[in-house]
Amino acid sequence: MRELLLIGYSLASLVSVFCLYLILRQRPGDGQKSVQTLTTFICVLMTGYWLSINTTTLEGMVIAQKVIYAGGCYVYYYMLLFYLNFCRIRIPRIVSELLQAFSFCMLIIAFTFDHHTLLYRSYSLTELDGIPILEKEYGIAHHAYVAMMACYCIAFIVLAVRFYRNHQKGRRRTQSWILLMVALCPTASYILQKTVSKVDLVPFGLCISLVLTLYLIYVERIYDVTGLAKDYVFSSLDDTALIVIDSDQYYKGSNDLAKELFPVLKATGTADRLETLSQLLSDLKTDEDGFLLLGGKVYEPKVKKVQNAGKTVGSVIWINDVTVEREHVKLVDNYQKKLEHDVKEKTEHIEQLQLKIVLGMANIIENRDASTGGHIRRTSDVVSILVDAIRKDGQLGLSDGFCTAIVRTAPLHDIGKIAVEDRILRKPGKYTPEEFEVMKTHTTKGAQIIPSMLRDVTDETTLRIACNIAKYHHEKWNGNGYPEHLSGEDIPIEARIMAIADVYDALVSERCYKEAMSFDQAYEIIMESMGSHFDPGLEKYFVQCRSQLEDYYTYADRRLKAAEA
């Protein structure tokens, strides 16, 4: 097995060297340069794998791993550059610099992994069928490396799909499938290695990708020039620079304005290649929208196809003077941005005002009802935990705005208690039947107070949710609640959620008339009440959140004890 793998790694190394030779024979250009660098790093990577199969010591395997990372840290980055060049896409410079910085940091970490535990927490040399294997316990840097490789792979697939959607006919369609295979081969070999065998299969996947990449580069050069734009176009447009290229991006001519704007064209011959318009203009100054700034004027680049006998044989790059138009656009944009800023500022102010009102009223209730210290804050947090689980699940179809409104207005669920007289509200023991009837009125009174409080500072949806929570959070699924004895789904969903939070807090919290129940006791009571007191459709969310709720109350209890100490 070791001999077979050695032959495979050797052949893969030879193929990568041969591919590098073929790449070096190509005309220089951004696409070729990125592939040249990519192929060089792959050759380094192959050397590392070849060394790993030939070592018999831990020290030798450590060196081999460092060589592998020396190549591997930059392989996906330069493959991305090739993809972007092939698809005629430019990424922001800051993104490119961040990706390079990540690769460089990983390279430094990999070169020094035997002096720290960022990459591998531990490692040892073992054998599998005679093949030396470095057994590793991965560290945080390796997980970051794998995550970044996954992001690269997703980017490759997106670019390949985008290219396919833009070119669904002829050889371009075939090239899109090949482009997708370039990304999937290394990834598939890595997944196969992790799931089937401990033997490194990545070299073979990279070797296949490299061969496919070479094929794409050669295919890109198969078209010949079959026509040029008419000479009269060059002389008739004094405020437009024109540059003619063929379908293989070779320069074929330009008018005087183009040569004035781009002096490099004066020394450019018809055998020289202009890879893309963006390449030609890459060093020029642009405004925030990507328009060119030349000689105190603003120019807009466009590309128009040149047709001959129904076939595209080249392109004319039109660079139009749009100085006047851009001045008008800037005026409109500045006005629009100012308007949007003012609206956003006022909206944020209203939202902050609304929040302050809600919290202020909740604090008033808290201060009056001495028997439920912290109840409003805790139930609001429980609602937030439950709503977060519901939002992530998505089966109930609650929008993000609806969920946010529930969490924001939960502190107002007992706002009606502000209208209950102190002798009842602050009574330390249980209520008499008559007193309980008075206390029950806090639900309807809350629904009456909220509109007068929030109508001018919130939207109708949030207002309705707040009223429903205040009025119906004591309704029961079986219809035995109050104030209207609603049942089932007639009870608003926001009130059903609030009901679970309200009862759970009452069970696990200490009151002046009872001790706090254990989490297990409270859990059993809530579960037994599903379908009678509570909406059974919310059961799975309560179960999902059990440990999170218990952690929350444990932390709150510890914090309270620490404050008392």
What whole-number percentage of the chain has pLDDT above 90? 21
The yes-or-no verdict on residue 560 having pLDDT over 60 is: no
Angle at 68 between CA 138 and CA 128, to 5 degrees: 65
Structural domain boundaries, residue 81: 2-219
> pLDDT class for 152, splitting at 50, 70, 90?
confident
463: Cβ–Cβ under 8 A, 6 or more apart, which residues? Answer: 450, 451, 454, 455
CA distances from 207 to 7, 75, 464 (A): 14, 12, 63
Q: Is residue 332 part of a domain?
A: no
Identify the CA nearest to 407 among candidates 432, 374, 368, 381: 381
Q: Of the given ranges (17-26, 70-79, 221-230), which has the lowest mean pLDDT?
A: 221-230
The yes-or-no verdict on residue 302 having pLDDT over 80 is: no
Give the pLDDT of residue 408.
Answer: 87
Q: Of the given ranges (232-241, 390-399, 456-465, 507-516), which has the lowest mean pLDDT?
A: 232-241
The yes-or-no verdict on residue 559 having pLDDT over 80 is: no
Identify the CA nearest to 33 among candidates 156, 41, 185, 12: 41
Q: Do 199 and 296 have their domain in common?
A: no
The yes-or-no verdict on residue 233 having pLDDT over 50 is: no
Q: Is residue 414 part of a domain?
A: yes
Q: Is residue 118 part of a domain?
A: yes
Q: Do 487 and 532 have their domain in common?
A: yes
> pLDDT class for 490, splitting at 50, 70, 90?
very high
The yes-or-no verdict on residue 235 having pLDDT over 60 is: no
Give the pLDDT of residue 563.
Answer: 47
CA distance between the termini of the chain: 68
Q: Is residue 338 part of a domain?
A: no
Rank 374-388, 399-413, 490-504 by mean pLDDT and report only the highest. Answer: 490-504
Q: Do 161 and 268 have their domain in common?
A: no
Report, as an integer, the average pLDDT of 10-16: 75
With 0.75 as the threshold, say if the pTM is over it: no
Q: Do 78 and 129 have their domain in common?
A: yes
Report, as an integer, the average pLDDT of 534-558: 89
415: Cβ–Cβ under 8 A, 6 or more apart, which residues? Answer: 361, 362, 365, 446, 449, 450, 453, 470
Distance CA 527, CA 500 (A): 10
- Give 38-86 as a DSSP string: HHHHHHHHHHHHHHHHH--SHHHHHHHHHHHHHHHHHHHHHHHHHHHHH
Give the pLDDT of residue 226.
Answer: 31
Give the pLDDT of residue 482.
Answer: 94
Distance CA 554, CA 556 (A): 5
Rank 7-21, 170-184, 527-541 by mean pLDDT and report only the highest. Answer: 527-541
Q: Which of 219, 247, 282 is the last residue of a domain?
A: 219
> Tokens 């139009």 sit at which residue?
320
Identify the CA nearest to 212 among candidates 169, 170, 180: 180
Rank 36-45, 325-334, 385-394, 423-432 by mean pLDDT and report only the highest. Answer: 385-394
Angle at 88 between CA 144 and CA 202, to 5 degrees: 40
CATH of the domain at 45: 1.20.1070.10
Q: Is residue 435 part of a domain?
A: yes
Give the pLDDT of residue 221.
Answer: 47
Under 8 Å between Cβ of 23 and 35: yes
Q: Do 484 and 451 have their domain in common?
A: yes
Give the pLDDT of residue 362.
Answer: 66
> In which element (H, E) is residue 340 found?
helix 323-368
> pLDDT class for 486, splitting at 50, 70, 90?
very high
CA distances from 188 to 174, 352, 472, 507, 523 (A): 20, 51, 55, 53, 46
* Helices 433-440 + 442-454 axis angle, to 10: 20
Q: Is residue 373 part of a domain?
A: yes
> Tokens 């004094």 sit at which residue?
238
Residue 69: what residue type?
A: Y
> pLDDT class for 548, splitting at 50, 70, 90?
very high
Q: Which of 193, 219, 245 is the last residue of a domain?
A: 219
Give the pLDDT of residue 423.
Answer: 82
CATH of the domain at 550: 1.10.3210.10
Q: Is residue 328 part of a domain?
A: no
The yes-or-no verdict on residue 167 having pLDDT over 70 is: no
Q: What does the DSSP 8-state code read for residue 221?
A: T
The yes-or-no verdict on residue 128 having pLDDT over 70 is: yes
Q: Do 418 and 550 have their domain in common?
A: yes
Q: Do 85 and 191 have their domain in common?
A: yes
The yes-or-no verdict on residue 234 having pLDDT over 60 is: no
Give the Cβ contact number of residue 495 at 10 Å.
25
Across 71-161, the runs of DSSP E, i.e. the strands, are 120-128, 131-138
Give the pLDDT of residue 424.
Answer: 82
Q: Is residue 342 part of a domain?
A: no
> pLDDT class for 133, splitting at 50, 70, 90?
confident
Domain count, the chain: 3
Q: Do 289 and 367 have their domain in common?
A: no
Residue 501: what residue type?
A: A
306: Cβ–Cβ under 8 A, 6 or more apart, which residues? Answer: 227, 228, 229, 244, 312, 313, 314, 315, 316
Q: Give the sheet arrangement for strand 292-294, strand by strand.
A: 251-254, 240-246, 311-321, 297-308, 292-294
The yes-or-no verdict on residue 260 having pLDDT over 90 is: no
Task: Pick 282 or 221 by higher pLDDT.
Answer: 282
> pLDDT class for 276, splitting at 50, 70, 90?
very low
Q: Write down the mean pLDDT value for the chain.
A: 79
Q: Do 468 and 507 have their domain in common?
A: yes
3-state secondary structure 286-332: ECCCCCEEECCEEEEEEEEEEEECCEEEEEEEEEEECHHHHHHHHHH
Q: Do 492 and 540 have their domain in common?
A: yes
Q: Do 382 and 411 have their domain in common?
A: yes
Half-sphere exposure of 119 (CA within 13 A, CB side): 20
Q: Do 212 and 243 have their domain in common?
A: no
The yes-or-no verdict on residue 258 having pLDDT over 90 is: no
The yes-or-no verdict on residue 83 having pLDDT over 90 is: no
Q: Give the rounded distance of the alpha carbon of 228 from its chain centre.
A: 45
Q: Which of 199, 219, 239 is the last residue of a domain?
A: 219
